[in-house]
């Protein structure tokens, strides 16, 4: 059966999909030369040309395709349906009313997308037409890039960009290497070395290159930038030689050739099949919580709409049961109408009511929300405070859809290296067999073992140790992938390490390695260069030692170690291995393991990154075996990685431990302050790192994630070895819950100083045990739940030893927990990408580890500290803004449509619209759209500085608090109330009273009667003014733009009404609104009633606001009051948080490394905090203890004011 299927599939794919899709490898004839006869025949495949198509549309398919795309959106489709209904049946409003806005929206979107696509076309064209040099018949020919074909041999010169994915055949350098930066691909600006195929590297001119006769077999294109397997068959003397090809031979499109004069390479993947093009794929779109609420509201309003239409239809037929009402003599139907079946009539009526009320869900809401998000995101990009001088980078917004989500974050998942820390490595010390070497203590190449007082140090290493010491230094000089870069001009000044004649410095993709090699230099061993696969080292005696580099067992995050195999000039083979302690110790057979281990742990606690170094002497036989293993694995086309890993595993064993190194990674500027602010804002901060537990924990302490009084709960392999996972979990949950039950349920408990907060440490291995799906016993299924329960009660969690995928797993776990919290992931490296993509909001740090995180993130910031402003200020603002936008939009449409609904009761349910067509059409697109858009762009309910100073304000908007159902219902009820006031106000003025114009405007003193359009215009005028004033009342930040737009839109309404009424354009005289507005304004009672109705509509909301503010003020409102009252004094006041935080972050670990042994500033802090709290517990009202309020009150209470100033000096240590 299975066989049948696969054959069938092959057949189908062969005939339907095209050949290249079913062949899992491709064969390329270099220079299009057929292989010699006799070799196995390959299936000739067709490859695409080298045209890059990033555009979505062509000139011909733009309109249909774009229309299709746009109408796939539910909202647009809904409006299309309404429009079609209006076209087909006899509806109360003309199709223009919904057609025009829809047309407008569709056109604007289409123009925008068309323009973007045009830009893409232009970019594509310039890329596709750019010239490339191709070797043809021994000559270099210029070709347009798009005409490049698979198999062409290409000549690339220095600083040129590769036109497609190429296999490197030969370079201008003797050793067959070339340097490449992939900055535009993954942002890694370091120079990477690529290698030419060994057997072709000698072919250095176009003539020679043209004579190469070979074929390449490789896998079909796949998007992974770092993976490639292939094989080259070279036909020399008709004897094919097969050589492996790996990613080190593959030059990717988009990368740039550096430091190499020229190269020859053969195209293997072209056009849309290059790895760069395959990486174009857009990631799935994230949607914010606000958008979800909005959609929920939409459903509610859709239900309201349908029920309104339904109620009216039913009532119509109930009411018409009396034939005189149905068809009084003055309102007879036409014959065709009479003959229509009642069901059809009822259905048409239902549709007509739907059309009449459809404005309750306006098109413009979507447009406004989109514009708000798009334009609003500019404020993030423009923010000067988020500009980093050092990097010259500003914040980048990749997705503007999530602006408001920044104000909703509950969990922050942060990477450690490069995110919390600077990823600026500094070599601190190394330890050989327990002897500590500190570079500072070296004078003239004389090693002075480290400072006294460290119990580990044996000040006089014996002669046996001497040998190990040298071996250790050599190991570090040899076991790395660092390149020596000569003479690079940076900032106009020649930087570098002055090294005899030439100026050079080290580059590597891993900053740790550079730190180590530089550290070694300071200890006397200088790595000079790699030449002809010989590594040259300048030793302490200024002698050059040469080692032949035989194999590099590259680093990967699973093994967490790397090795080199070298042959010394004396012919001895060595394997040097360096890696994380956990990956080295199990493989060590001898050496002073205990001493080194102790030192490693000591360093890790200090927050240093440690690596262990070991070696293994190899006999020539062993080396042969190793060679065999490796080449076997490397030549494999399938499962090459797996086989390589197995080979590495076999080779890296029986090691002899040499020692360990310690490298420091400084905390980023203000990292601690930022974390503290996030904590105060009610966010839970989790650190997810691949580092070892001790190092990570130290960083957590330094960054104030853990405090001195934090009780640390450990969930690590060490503990689970002693107890079963089950018991540990239950133990922990018991501890946490006991504490939790003991204290009173207080939302702000996280801040109170007395109760211990918990910090959890978990490692990757234990995590995967926890996450393992239930298999044998049913109990294990609960692990996840228990784990989550523990996590929920911990203020900080540290996950160490995490694999990248595990990071995403954690985020997913929290996302899926029952409260569905909003998560944010922040990281800087490729290993954070998975978690950045998984979290609700992904933030990339423009760090040293390349651009991958930035490219995949929703927002990118230069430094971790910018997260504070991003969340506390921008996030807060955008949340406030968009929630008001959404609520207000629904409100104003209830106000708009509900009177029309009420009117049906007074016009015999005949679908008579209350408002004129122009008003129906323009209400949402022009009369009331700009003020709310502007509000949603520049509203600031609280000063920006206060938001930053007082993170606890963030809690006010947590959990989507402004879009909860009660608030939504309040707005809707308010809308209904306003609608009732407006409608019945007008009704009572018209009904049985002589609400008429006294006509003084035009002729004699006449009492002219008003008709139905005047009625509607009166309601509409009150409506426009009311909803605009309502927004004005909600505006807390009146810039001149607000004044301009709010008053401007009211003036526009009046002007439009006059114009539409024929004042300015007399040719509008035939239409029904002719002079209606003017006549209405000529009537005194109209003015009076407009004023009255506006006041009556706004009254309850104002009263509610004032009373709520007095009775149940939110923190925000308290601050607003305080801000108002104490504006003058505010500037002099520096609140607690900002007083000590920057001073700590600034001084700690800045300047000299010795500082880390001075824990004093840390210690004083909880103490001073306690003072604050005891003083302030008297007024239970101020349970949040926001600094500003403390101040605000302090000014009033002289006694407490002293208390504050008493605490002040202590905090500012």
Partner 1 sequence: MLKKEQESANRPDNTAFTQQRLPAWQPMLSAGIVIPGFVLIGLAFIGIGVALFVTSRSIQVLELDYTGVEQNSPCYKCSDSDAKNCACTLDFSINRLFEGPVFFYYGLSNYFQNYRSYGASKDDDQLSGDLEHFTSPSDTCDPYRYDSSDKPIVPCGLVANSMFNDTFKLYQIVTGGKKQVPFDGKGIAWWTDYNVKYRNPSVVPLKNAFNGTVKPIFWSKPAYELDPTDPANNGFINQDFLVWMRRAALPDFRKLYRRITEGDYAKGLPVGNYSLEIAYNYPVLSFDGRKKVVLSNVSWMGGKNEFLGIAYLVIGSMCIVMSIVMLIVYAKFKFPDEE
Min dist. Cβ of residue 1071 to partner 1 (A): 8
Between residues 452 and 490, which has the closer beta carbon with respect to partner 1? Answer: 490
N-terminal to C-terminal alpha carbon distance within the chain: 78
* CA atoms within a 13 Å half-sphere pointing along the CA-CB vector of 1209: 2
Closest separation between CB of residue 932 and partner 1, Å? Answer: 17
Please identify which residue in the block is written with the tokens 């918990």.
758
Q: Please state the closest distance from residue 1007 (CB atom) to partner 1, in A.
A: 5
* CA gap 1018, 1013 in Å, rounded: 8
> Is the Cβ of residue 443 or residue 490 nearer to partner 1 in the bound state?
490
Query: What is the CA angle 16-22-26, rounded to 5?
Result: 130
Q: Please choose, from the candidates 440, 436, 528, the residue with its C-alpha nearest in 3D space to the C-alpha of residue 482.
A: 528
CA distances in angstroms from 551 to 577, 627, 637, 1089, listed in the order given: 12, 8, 20, 91
Instruction: Supply the minimum distance, in Å, between the C-beta of residue 1040 and partner 1.
Output: 7
Q: How far apart are CA 134 and CA 266, in angstroms?
A: 9
State how far the Cα of 524 lies from the Cα of 69, in Å rounded to an integer: 66
Q: Which is nearer to partner 1, 53 or 1068 (CB)?
A: 1068
Best CA proximity match to 162, nearest among 176, 148, 172, 174: 148
CA-CA distance, 878 to 369, in Å (whole number)? 11
Residue 948: CB minimum distance to partner 1, A: 13
User: Could you give the angle at which helices 289-319 and 876-904 cross, rounded to 10 degrees?
Assistant: 0
List all residues 6 or more positions away from 768 whose beta carbon is below 8 Å from its beta carbon.
806
Nearer to partner 1, 381 or 605 (CB): 381
DSSP assignment of 687-728 equals EE-SS-HHHHHHHHHHTTSS-TTPEEEEESHHHHHHS-HHHH
**528 or 1027: CB nearest partner 1:** 1027
Using the minimum distance from each CB to partner 1, give the nearer residue, 525 or 1015: 1015
Burial label, 575 (beta-carbon count in 10 A; 0-12, 13-18, 19+): buried
Q: What's the min distance (Å) between Cβ of 371 and partner 1? A: 17
Smallest distance, partner 1 to C-beta of residue 305, A: 19
Nearer of residues 413 and 935 to partner 1, judged by Cβ = 935
Spatial distance between the Cα atoms of 399 and 387, rounded to a whole number of angstroms:
19
Residues 6 or more apart whose CB falls under 8 angstroms from that of 99 comprise 83, 86
Q: How far is CA 1014 from CA 986, 1009, 1076, 1079, 1093, in A?
A: 10, 10, 6, 8, 16
Closer to partner 1 by Cβ: residue 485 or 567: 485
Closest CA to 482 of 445, 456, 517: 517
d(Cα 65, Cα 57) in Å, to the nearest integer? Answer: 7
Q: In this structure, are strands 489-490 and 131-136 parallel, antiparallel, or unpaired?
A: unpaired
Q: Which residues pair with 493 in a beta bridge?
A: 490
Partnered with residue 567 across adjacent β-strands are: 548, 573
Q: How far is CA 274 from CA 105, 150, 186, 192, 1122, in A?
A: 37, 11, 15, 19, 60
Q: How are beta strands 794-800 and 758-763 bridged, if at all? A: parallel
By beta-carbon proximity to partner 1, the closer residue of 298 and 1018 is 1018
Contact 1130, 1123 (CB under 8 A): yes
Residue 42 vs 1075, nearer CB to partner 1: 1075
Provide, rounded to whole angstroms, the least separation between the CB of residue 488 and partner 1. Answer: 13
Shortest Å distance, C-beta 57 to partner 1: 32
Radius of gyration of the chain (CA): 37
Total Cβ atoms within 10 A of residue 287: 14
Q: Can you tell me the distance from the alpha carbon of 872 to that of 951, in angstroms, rounded to the nearest whole number?
A: 6
Quick check: 706 and 751 in contact, CB under 8 A? no
Measured from the CB of residue 1000, what is the shortest distance to partner 1 in angstroms?
A: 10
Of the pair 325, 1202, the CB lying nearest partner 1 is at 325
Active-site residue, 415 included: yes
Q: With the CA atoms of 218, 219, 221 and 222 taken in that order, what torsion angle do they form, in degrees rounded to the nearest 10?
A: -130
Q: Which letter does DSSP use for residue 993 in this model? A: S
C-alpha span between 923 and 1036 (Å, rounded):
24
Residue with Cβ nearer partner 1 (119 or 1009): 1009
The backbone region for 994, taken as left when phi is positive above 0, alpha when psi lies in -120 to 50, beta otherwise, is beta
**Hey, which residues does 83 pair with through a beta bridge?**
none
Q: CB of 1075: closest distance to partner 1 in angstroms?
A: 4
CB of 1121 to partner 1, least distance (A): 6
Annotated catalytic residue within 186, 415, 512, 1193: 415
Q: Name the residue nearer to partner 1 (CB basis): 275 or 1175.
A: 1175
Nearest CA-CA partner of 292 in 1169, 960, 1023, 1035: 960
Catalytic positions, written as ranges:
415
């Amino acid at each position: 059966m299975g066989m049948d299927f696969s054959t069938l599939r092959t057949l189908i794919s062969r005939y339907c999909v095209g050949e290249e899709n079913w062949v899992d490898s491709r064969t390329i004839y270099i220079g299009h030369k057929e292989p010699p006869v006799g070799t196995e025949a390959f299936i000739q495949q067709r490859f695409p040309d080298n045209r890059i198509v990033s555009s979505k549309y062509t000139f011909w398919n733009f309109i249909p395709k774009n229309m299709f795309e746009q109408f796939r959106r539910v909202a647009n489709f809904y409006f299309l349906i309404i429009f079609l209904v209006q076209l087909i049946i006899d509806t109360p409003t003309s199709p223009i009313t919904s057609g025009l806005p829809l047309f407008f929206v569709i056109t604007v979107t289409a123009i925008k997308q068309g323009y973007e696509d045009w830009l893409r076309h232009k970019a594509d064209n310039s890329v596709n037409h750019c010239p490339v040099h191709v070797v043809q018949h021994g000559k270099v020919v210029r070709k347009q890039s798009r005409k490049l074909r698979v198999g062409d041999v290409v000549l690339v010169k220095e600083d040129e960009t590769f036109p497609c994915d190429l296999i490197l055949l030969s370079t201008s350098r003797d050793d067959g290497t070339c340097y490449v930066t992939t900055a535009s691909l993954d942002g890694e600006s370091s120079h990477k070395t690529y290698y030419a195929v060994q057997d072709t590297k000698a072919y250095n001119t176009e003539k020679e290159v043209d004579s190469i006769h070979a074929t390449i077999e490789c896998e079909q294109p796949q998007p992974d930038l770092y993976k490639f397997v292939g094989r080259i068959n070279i036909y020399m003397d008709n004897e094919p030689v097969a050589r492996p090809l790996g990613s080190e031979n593959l030059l990717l499109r988009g990368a740039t050739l550096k430091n190499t004069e020229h190269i020859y390479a053969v195209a293997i993947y072209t056009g849309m099949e290059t790895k760069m093009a395959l990486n174009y794929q857009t990631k799935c779109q994230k949607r914010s919580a606000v958008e979800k609420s909005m959609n929920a509201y939409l459903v509610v309003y859709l239900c309201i709409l349908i029920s309104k239409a339904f109620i009216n239809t039913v009532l119509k037929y109930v009411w018409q049961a009396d034939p005189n009402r149905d068809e009084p003599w003055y309102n007879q139907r036409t014959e065709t109408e009479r003959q229509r079946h009642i069901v059809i009539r009822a259905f048409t009526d239902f549709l007509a009511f739907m059309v009449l009320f459809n404005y309750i869900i306006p098109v413009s809401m979507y447009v406004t929300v989109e514009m708000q998000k798009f334009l609003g995101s500019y404020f993030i990009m423009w923010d000067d405070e988020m500009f980093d001088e050092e990097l010259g980078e500003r914040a980048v917004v990749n997705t503007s859809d999530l602006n408001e989500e920044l104000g909703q974050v509950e969990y922050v998942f942060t990477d450690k290296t490069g995110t919390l820390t600077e990823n600026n490595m500094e070599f601190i010390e190394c330890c050989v067999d327990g002897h500590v070497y500190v570079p500072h203590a070296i004078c003239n190449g004389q090693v002075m073992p480290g400072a006294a007082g460290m119990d580990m140090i044996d000040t006089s290493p014996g002669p046996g140790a001497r040998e190990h010491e040298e071996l250790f230094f050599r190991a570090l000089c040899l076991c790395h992938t660092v390149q020596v870069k000569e003479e690079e001009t940076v900032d106009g000044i020649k930087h570098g390490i002055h090294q005899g004649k030439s100026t050079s410095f080290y580059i590597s993709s891993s900053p740790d390695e550079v730190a180590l090699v530089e550290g070694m230099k300071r200890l006397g061993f200088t790595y000079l260069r790699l030449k002809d696969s010989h590594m040259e080292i300048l030793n302490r005696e200024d002698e050059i030692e040469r080692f032949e580099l035989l194999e590099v067992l590259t680093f990967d995050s699973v093994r967490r170690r790397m090795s080199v195999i070298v042959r010394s000039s004396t012919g001895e083979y060595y394997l040097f291995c360096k890696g994380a302690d956990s990956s080295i110790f199990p493989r060590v057979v001898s050496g002073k393991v205990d001493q080194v281990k102790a030192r490693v742990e000591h360093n890790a606690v200090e927050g240093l990154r440690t690596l262990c170094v070991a070696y293994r002497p190899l006999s020539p036989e062993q080396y042969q075996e190793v060679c065999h293993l490796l080449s076997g694995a490397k030549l494999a086309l399938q499962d090459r990685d797996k086989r390589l890993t197995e080979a590495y595993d076999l080779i890296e064993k029986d090691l002899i431990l040499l020692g360990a190194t310690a490298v420091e990674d400084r905390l980023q500027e203000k990292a601690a302050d930022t974390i503290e602010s996030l904590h105060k804002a009610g966010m839970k901060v989790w650190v997810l790192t691949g580092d070892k537990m001790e190092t990570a924990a130290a960083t957590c302490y330094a960054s104030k994630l853990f405090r001195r009084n934090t009780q640390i709960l450990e969930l690590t392999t060490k503990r689970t070895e002693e107890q079963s996972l089950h018991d540990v979990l239950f133990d922990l949950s018991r501890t946490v819950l006991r504490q939790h039950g003991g204290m009173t349920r207080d939302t702000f408990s996280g801040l109170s100083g007395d109760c211990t907060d918990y910090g959890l440490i978990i490692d990757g291995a234990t995590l995967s045990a926890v996450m393992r799906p239930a298999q044998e016993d049913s109990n294990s299924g609960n692990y996840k739940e228990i784990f989550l329960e523990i996590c929920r009660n911990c203020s900080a969690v540290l996950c160490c030893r995490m694999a990248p995928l595990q990071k995403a797993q954690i985020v997913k776990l929290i996302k899926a927990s029952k409260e569905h919290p909003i998560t944010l992931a922040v990281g800087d490296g490729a290993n954070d990408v998975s978690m950045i993509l998984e979290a609700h909001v992904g933030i990339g740090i423009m760090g040293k580890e390349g651009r991958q995180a930035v490219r995949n993130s929703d927002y990118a910031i230069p430094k971790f500290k910018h997260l504070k402003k991003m969340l506390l200020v921008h996030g807060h603002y955008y949340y406030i803004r968009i929630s008001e936008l959404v609520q207000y939009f629904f409100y104003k449409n209830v106000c708009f449509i509900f009177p029309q609904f009420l009117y049906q009761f007074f016009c015999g349910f005949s679908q008579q619209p209350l408002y004129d067509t122009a008003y129906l059409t323009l209400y949402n697109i022009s009369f009331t759209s700009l003020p709310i858009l502007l509000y949603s762009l520049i509203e600031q309910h609280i000063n920006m500085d206060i938001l930053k100073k007082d993170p606890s304000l963030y809690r006010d908007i947590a959990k989507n608090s402004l879009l909860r159902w009660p608030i939504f219902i309040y707005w809707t009820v308010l809308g209904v109330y306003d609608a009732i006031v407006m409608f019945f106000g007008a009704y009572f003025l018209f009904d049985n009273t002589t609400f008429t114009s006294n006509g003084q405007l035009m002729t004699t003193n006449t009492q002219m009667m008003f008709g139905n359009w005047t009625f509607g215009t009166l309601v509409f005028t009150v409506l426009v003014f009311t909803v605009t004033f309502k927004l004005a009342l909600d505006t807390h930040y009146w810039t001149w733009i607000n004044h301009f737009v709010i008053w401007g839109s009211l003036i526009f309404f009046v002007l439009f009404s006059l114009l539409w009424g024929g004042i300015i354009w007399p040719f509008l005289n035939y239409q029904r609104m002719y002079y209606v507005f003017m006549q209405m304004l000529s009537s005194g009672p109209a003015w009076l009633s407009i004023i009255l109705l506006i006041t009556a509509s706004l009254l309850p909301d104002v009263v509610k606001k004032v009373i709520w503010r007095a009775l149940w003020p939110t923190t925000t409102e308290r601050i607003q009051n305080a801000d108002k009252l104490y504006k003058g004094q505010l500037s002099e006041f520096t609140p607690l948080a900002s007083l000590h935080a920057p001073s700590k972050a600034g001084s700690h670990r800045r300047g000299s490394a010795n500082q880390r042994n001075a824990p004093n500033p840390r210690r004083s802090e909880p103490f001073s905090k306690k003072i604050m709290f005891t003083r302030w517990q008297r007024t239970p009202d101020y349970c949040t203890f926001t600094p500003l309020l403390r101040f605000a009150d302090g000014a009033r209470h002289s006694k407490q004011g002293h208390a504050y100033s008493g605490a002040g000096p202590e905090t500012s240590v």
